[in-house]
Amino acid sequence: MSVFIDNATRLVVQGITGRDGSFHAKQMMEYGTQVVAGVTPGKGGQRFENAVPVFNTVAEAVAATKANTAVIYVPAAVAASAIFEAADAGIGLVIGITEGIPVLDMTRVLPFVRERGARLIGPNCPGLISPAKSKVGIIPGNICKPGNVGVVSRSGTLTYEIVHQLSTHGLGQSTCIGIGGDPLIGTNFIDCLTAFQADAETDAIVMIGEIGGTDEQQAAEFAKREVKKPIVGFIAGQTAPPGRRMGHAGAIIAGSSGTAAEKMAAFEKAGISVMKRPADVVPLLKERM
């Protein structure tokens, strides 16, 4: 098993003929992901890399290829429309890589996706990877190795750092998920913790949060009640000044609820081992596993 994607994932790449879409589509294909279709309006009938058919709409792509997952590499101004189109075409899992999507757009996207029974990961995220099975997004496949540690993170760069630490020390991953750092996202920590708890191949979990909001506190309370597997956590932005946004649109401290100290205290209260720095992940996991 793995979480959300596996060998059966059939991927359509929205924006496959653009700069980012074409680059990462090649990377995903080389990793072994089943990229069955691309979508670029007006370019239907072409073939990407002489192998992948390109369609004008997601509905056409789904009808022809039975795609069940979509990844979005289109500009922020039209990204919401691309998510609408994927969900409306019956795609069950949509991964939004695009950053800079207006929050107002996301207030319309999230209920639309849920009403159609689809899951959105992101936006403004690196996607996810189940090592040796499937990669959807931009997480480098060469730093991952198959194993039994699930990783969920708000930060793309820290995902790479933590995964590199794990792989270098022989701790492979079941699935690594970048959920994104925007104020409104489709899949949160609790969703991923639930999936990892249910996954027979995940024996331990690494949760990477950051300052801003209360998602980490809510996830810690949930983990204390519902998650039986060991969790190691990290909070980015431990030296951030109050009122200053640090990196992600959602990483801004308001009062005391979004501070690193408050989140780390919530982790400790829930029995989550807390890293002071990313390099601590391996010794802490080995203590708990």
Torsion of CA 77, 82, 84, 85, to 10 degrees: 140
Q: Where are the alpha helices (DSSP H) in the chain?
A: 19-31, 58-65, 76-88, 103-115, 156-168, 189-198, 215-226, 260-269, 281-288
Q: Which of 193, 209, 192 is nearest to 248 (CA)?
A: 209
Task: Please tell me the distance from the alpha carbon of residue 285 to that of residue 166, in angstroms, as a whole number.
Answer: 9
The two three-digit tokens of residue 218, written as one number: 């809510």
Asked if residues 139 and 128 have their Cβ atoms less than 8 Å apart, the reply is yes
Active-site residue, selected from the candidate residues 24, 164, 169, 248: 248
Burial class (CB in 10 A: 0-12, 13-18, 19+), 148: middle
Q: Is 248 labeled as catalytic in the residue annotation?
A: yes
The residues annotated with a catalytic role in the active site are: 248
